[in-house]
Amino acid sequence: MKRRGLYVTRLSKAFVFKSHKAKEKRTSKSQSRASETKDTTLDEDTQAIIADVPVLSQTQEDDGAADTMTNCKRLSTQLCNNVTMSVWKADLTDFKVDAVVNAANSKLGHHGGLAKALCDAGGPDIQAESNKYILEKGQLPTGQAHVTTAGKLRCNSIIHVVGPCLQRNPTPEMIRMAKPLLKKAVVNLLKIAEQHNLCSVAIPAISSGIFNFPLPLCADVIVTTIKQYCKQKKANSPPFKLHLVNNDNKTVREMERACKKILSCHEDKDMPPTAKVHLQVKSN
């Protein structure tokens, strides 16, 4: 009887154990089904939320002014007289060079766009020094440039340059008249960089954006002007590294296009061998 009783006891325990495992399995399946139902509901809710947000095309996404990115070199070009030019998708407020170029207004009031971003990152000294210049010298004319401190920025100086500012939807005549002013602005920022021994300079798409100068033409003018400037630069002068830096894909692509078109396809036949252009393009 003891043996039978013992057997029955063991069998009962085994039965209880198996029953408990089966219950756990059923509970686990039930919870899994509940979780799946919950996840499905979440997915449906998420899709509904996404459906309410307009889907942007690649072009529309590129119109954004502040993409999140790490600094990325997209193209590198060796010009004549120790000048290197490159195209970057990067943040000018965190770009390590001798000088960053700011697309400024004539009053050097850094209250919007790139100017505000640089001041916010660099601190109040940038605006204070700009105010001092305006009090002493008056407004900075269109096409002219001025150097100030860079505050807390990674660069050593800021070159404030005043490019032409157009009304929205400018007429062809307005654009025609503004073009030489943009060229003058680029030439003067390059001159002032050399005068202050600023050998590496980061240049944005001056006058595009809120200044309403057409972006494709802006890129063409900047690249063409740099190319022409390099020809008159002294061959024995210090090396010059020029970086065309912007933080949105649309502008970066225009700068790449301009470099390939103007520096590679339309190279002057009378340029010396040392002026030949070598493009190193980083594929997407």
CATH of the domain at 174: 3.40.220.10
Percent of the chain with pLDDT over 70: 69
- Regarding whether 151 and 11 lie in a shared domain, the answer is no
Alpha-helical (H) ranges within 72-210 are: 113-122, 125-137, 172-195
Tell me which of 105 and 284 has the higher pLDDT. 105
Q: Does 158 share its domain with 256?
A: yes
Q: Given this model, what pLDDT does residue 58 score?
A: 30
| 236 φ, ψ (degrees, to nearest 5) | -95, 5
- Same domain, yes or no: 258 and 166: yes
Q: Per the domain annotation, does 183 fall within a domain?
A: yes
Q: Does residue 63 sit within a domain?
A: no
Do 25 and 133 belong together in one domain?
Answer: no
What pLDDT, on a 0 to 100 scale, did the predictor assign at position 130? 97
If asked whether residues 81 and 23 sit together in one domain, one would say no
In this structure, is residue 61 part of a structural domain? Answer: no
pLDDT of residue 238: 83
Q: How far apart are CA 94 and CA 164, in angstroms?
A: 26
pLDDT at site 197: 94
49 and 79 belong to one structural domain: no
- Examine residue 176 and state whether it is found in any structural domain, yes or no: yes
Domain count, the chain: 2
Q: Indicate whether 62 belongs to any domain.
A: no
193 vs 69: which has the higher pLDDT: 193
Q: Are 8 and 97 contained in the same domain?
A: no
CA distance 200 to 193: 8
**How confident is the prediction for the chain on average, in pLDDT?**
78
pLDDT digit string, tens, across residues 241-260 = 999 999 999 999 999 999 99
Does 83 lie in the same domain as 22? no
Q: Could you tell me if 181 and 224 lie in one domain?
A: yes
Q: How far is CA 139 from CA 136, 145, 151, 190, 209, in A?
A: 9, 11, 22, 20, 22
Question: pLDDT digit string (tens) for 33-76?
Answer: 544 443 333 233 222 222 222 333 333 334 444 445 578 999 99
Residue 7 pLDDT level (bands cut at 50, 70, 90): very low
Same structural domain, 98 and 205? yes
Q: Which comes out higher in pLDDT, residue 186 or 62?
A: 186
**Which residue range(s) make up the domain with 178?**
72-281
Q: Do 241 and 179 belong to one domain?
A: yes
> pLDDT at position 38, please?
39
Q: Do 91 and 41 lie in a common domain? A: no
